C-alpha cells in the first residue's frame, strides 16, 4: 500500500495526499450505518474517512463537532483565525498534512498568504502581528503537555481585541486539532 | 440527551452563566463532543475494545496531562469498571514512570531535522506488564507516543498493536479515544481558565 509514497519533508500549503498504514473499509462494503458515520457521502472516496468509519458512531460525532467549531461563523471568531489556530497547533505538534490543509484555508480566508507561510517556515514563534501572535501563542500553550494555557493567554487575547465568545472559538479550534493531529500522524502518512 | 455534559461538569460551567450562553451558541459542537464521549465510553459494540481497557487507557492518558480534576473523573471511571479497581494503582504507577513534557520527536529527514527534539521513550515496567497483560501494555506504550510525540508515529507502531492482539477496527477506536481525550482535557482546561479569570 505504501510503495508509491513520497513523504513531504517541509511544511507546505500545497495539496498533499494521505496514505493509511492499516486497511480502510472497501467502498463496496459500506452500509447505511457507515454512510451515517461519514456524514458527507462523498467522504467514501477518502482513504482516511473509510478507515475512521470502522467506528461510525465516533466518526459521526467527531465530524459534527469539527463542522460546528470551524464552519459556524454566525458569530464569534472569523473563519481565518479559527484556521490559524488549527494551522498553528498542527505546526507545533508536527502534523505536516493537517498544517497544509489549514494553512491553505487560513490564507484563503485572511488573504495573508505570506504571513501564513512564515508560520510554516519559521515555526510558531514567527512574528505575525499582535492579534495573530496572541492566537498562535494561546494555541501552542493549549497543545503543550502538560497544558501550559493560563490567565496570561486570555489577557493577551483580550488585549488583541478578542471577546469571550471569540476566545472560546480559539480554545475549541486549537483543542480540536490535538484530536485531528493525533489521528492523521499515527494512522498513516502524507504523500506529495 | 438528558445526560450530564461532561465538559461543562469538569470545567465548572454553571447553567445560566455567561460561558453556558457562549457554549449554547455552538450547540452542535457541545452535543457532539458529548456524543463522542458517549460513543467511546458507552459504545454499542465493545467487542474489539473492552470497557475496562477504555477506562484504563483513559486514566493513563489523562494522568499524563496532570490535570487533577479530569484525572479524578477518569480514576473513578476505572475504579467503577468491571475488573477495573485492581488496575488503578498499576495505572498510577505507570503514569509516574511516563510523566514528561511534549510535544517532542523527529521529523522526516530533511530541513526539519534541525527541529528534532529527543525525549523519553516510555516502556511499561515489568510489574505493569504482568498486571496489565500484553494487549494493554502495548496500548499504553502507543498512547504515550500519541500524547507526547505523535510525530514519531510510524507504520511499525501499527504492526506492534496488531501483533499484540488489536484488530484494525479496535486500533481505530483506541486511536480515537486517545485523540478525543487530548481534545477534551484541553477544552476543559481552557474553559476552566476563562471561567476563573471572569470570576
Q: How far apart are CA A11 and CA B29, in angstroms?
A: 29
Decide if B2 touches A, using CB distance below 8 A: no
In Å, how far is A114's CA from the nearest CA of chain B? 19
Compare CB distances from A168 to B22, B153, B176 and report the shortest one's residue: B22
The pLDDT of residue B1 is 44
Decide if B186 touches A, using CB distance below 8 A: yes
Give the cell for residue B75: 480514576
Using 50, 70 and 90 to split pLDDT, how confident is the model at A5? confident
B146 lies in some domain: yes
Using 50, 70 and 90 to split pLDDT, how confident is the model at B199? confident
Q: Is the pLDDT of residue A2 over 70?
A: no
> ipTM greater than 0.85, yes or no?
yes
**Residues 140 to 179 of A: which have CB under 8 A from any B CB?**
142-147, 149-151, 153-155, 164-165, 167-168, 171-172, 174-176, 178-179
B155 lies in some domain: yes
Q: Is the pLDDT of residue B85 over 50?
A: yes
Contact at CB, A68 and B29, closer than 8 angstroms: yes
In Å, how far is A54's CA from the nearest CA of chain B? 5
Q: How far apart are CA A157 and CA A140, in angstroms?
A: 13
Averaged over B110-138, what is the pLDDT? 98
Give the cell for residue B163: 501483533
Place of cell 486500533: B171
Q: Is the pLDDT of residue A17 over 70?
A: yes
Q: A155 — phi, psi (to 5°)? A: -60, -40
Contact at CB, A9 and B111, closer than 8 angstroms: yes
Averaged over A105-111, what is the pLDDT? 98
Q: How far apart are CA A126 and CA A176, in angstroms?
A: 22
Q: Is the pLDDT of residue B122 over 60?
A: yes
B17 lies in some domain: yes
The pLDDT of residue B123 is 98
The pLDDT of residue A188 is 98
Q: How far apart are CA B42 and CA A73, in angstroms?
A: 32
How remote is the C-alpha of B145 from its chain's centroid? 11
Give the cell for residue A90: 498542527
Averaged over B22-45, what is the pLDDT? 97
Which residues of chain B have a CB within 8 Å of the CB of A68? 26-29, 32
Nearest 5°: the CA angle B44, B49, B53 is 115
- Other C-beta atoms within 10 Å of B104: how many? 18
Which residues of chain A have a CB within 8 Å of the CB of B139? none
Q: Is the pLDDT of residue B19 over 60?
A: yes
B186 lies in some domain: yes
B1 lies in some domain: no
Q: How far apart are CA B82 and CA B4, in angstroms?
A: 22
Q: Is the pLDDT of residue A71 over 80?
A: yes
Q: A189 — phi, psi (to 5°)? A: -145, 155
Q: Is the pLDDT of residue B2 over 70?
A: no
Averaged over A128-142, what is the pLDDT? 98
**Gyration radius of chain B's alpha carbons:** 18
Place of cell 506504550: B141
Q: Is the pLDDT of residue A39 over 90?
A: yes
Q: Specify whether the CB–CB gap between A26 and A8 falls below 8 A.
A: no
Q: How far apart are CA A182 and CA A97, in angstroms?
A: 11
Place of cell 447553567: B15
B116 lies in some domain: yes
* Complete DSSP assignment for A98-130: HHHHHHHHHHHHHS-HHHHHHHHHH-TT----H
In Å, how far is B105's CA from the nearest CA of chain A? 9
Nearest 5°: the CA angle A177, B107, A17 is 60
Which residues of chain B have a CB within 8 Å of the CB of A166? none
Q: Using CB atoms within 10 A of its CB, is residue B16 exposed (0-12), middle (13-18) or buried (19+)?
A: exposed
Spatial CA neighbour of B51 closest among B21, B24, B10, B84: B84
Which residues of chain B have a CB within 8 Å of the CB of A176? 183
Question: What domain count does chain B have?
Answer: 1
Contact at CB, A146 and B101, closer than 8 angstroms: yes
Spatial CA neighbour of B76 closest among B97, B96, B95, B62: B62
Compare CB distances from A52 to B23, B172, B198 and report the shortest one's residue: B172
pTM above 0.95, yes or no: yes
Compare CB distances from A185 to B151, B189, B198 and report the shortest one's residue: B151
Q: Which helix (H) or strand (E) holds A20?
A: strand A17-20
**Residues 68 to 97 of B: which have CB under 8 A from any A CB?**
none
The domain of B69 spans: 6-198
Compare CB distances from B146 to A8, A59, A182 and report the shortest one's residue: A182
Averaged over B2-13, what is the pLDDT? 90
Amino acid at each position: 500500500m505504501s510503495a508509491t509514497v513520497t513523504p513531504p519533508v517541509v511544511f507546505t500549503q500545497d495539496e498533499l495526499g494521505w496514505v493509511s498504514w492499516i486497511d480502510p473499509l472497501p467502498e463496496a462494503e459500506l452500509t447505511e450505518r457507515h454512510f451515517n458515520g461519514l456524514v458527507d457521502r462523498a467522504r467514501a472516496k477518502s482513504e482516511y474517512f473509510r478507515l475512521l468509519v470502522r467506528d461510525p458512531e465516533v466518526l459521526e460525532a467527531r465530524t459534527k463537532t469539527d463542522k460546528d467549531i470551524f464552519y459556524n461563523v454566525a458569530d464569534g471568531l472569523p473563519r481565518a483565525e479559527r484556521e490559524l489556530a488549527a494551522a498553528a497547533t498542527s505546526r507545533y505538534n508536527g502534523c505536516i498534512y493537517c498544517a497544509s490543509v489549514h494553512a491553505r484555508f487560513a490564507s484563503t480566508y485572511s488573504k495573508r498568504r505570506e504571513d501564513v507561510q512564515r508560520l510554516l517556515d519559521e515555526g510558531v514563534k514567527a512574528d505575525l502581528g499582535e492579534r495573530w501572535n496572541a492566537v498562535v501563542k494561546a494555541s501552542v500553550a493549549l497543545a503543550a503537555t502538560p497544558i501550559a494555557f493560563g490567565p496570561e493567554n486570555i489577557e493577551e487575547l483580550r488585549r488583541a481585541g478578542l471577546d469571550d465568545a471569540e476566545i472560546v472559538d480559539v480554545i475549541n479550534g486549537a483543542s480540536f486539532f490535538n484530536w485531528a493531529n493525533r489521528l492523521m500522524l499515527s494512522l498513516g502518512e502524507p504523500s506529495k | 440527551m438528558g445526560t450530564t455534559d461532561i465538559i461543562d461538569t469538569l470545567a465548572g460551567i454553571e447553567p445560566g452563566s455567561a460561558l453556558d450562553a457562549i457554549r449554547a451558541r455552538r450547540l452542535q459542537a457541545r452535543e457532539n463532543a458529548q456524543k463522542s464521549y458517549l460513543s467511546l465510553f458507552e459504545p454499542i459494540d465493545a467487542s474489539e475494545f473492552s470497557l475496562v481497557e477504555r477506562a484504563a487507557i483513559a486514566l493513563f492518558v489523562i494522568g499524563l496531562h496532570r490535570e487533577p480534576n479530569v484525572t479524578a473523573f477518569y480514576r473513578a471511571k476505572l475504579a467503577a469498571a468491571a475488573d477495573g479497581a485492581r488496575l488503578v494503582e498499576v495505572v498510577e504507577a505507570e503514569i509516574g514512570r511516563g510523566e514528561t513534557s511534549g510535544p517532542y520527536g523527529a521529523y522526516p529527514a530533511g530541513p526539519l531535522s534541525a527541529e528534532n527534539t529527543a525525549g523519553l521513550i516510555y516502556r511499561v515496567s515489568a510489574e505493569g506488564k504482568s498486571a496489565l497483560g500484553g494487549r494493554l501494555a502495548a496500548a499504553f506504550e502507543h498512547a504515550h507516543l500519541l500524547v507526547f510525540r505523535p510525530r514519531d508515529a510510524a507504520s511499525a507502531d501499527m504492526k506492534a498493536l496488531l501483533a499484540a492482539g488489536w484488530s484494525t477496527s479496535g486500533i481505530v477506536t483506541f486511536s480515537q479515544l486517545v485523540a478525543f481525550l487530548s481534545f477534551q482535557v484541553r477544552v476543559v482546561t481552557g474553559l476552566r481558565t476563562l471561567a476563573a479569570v471572569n470570576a
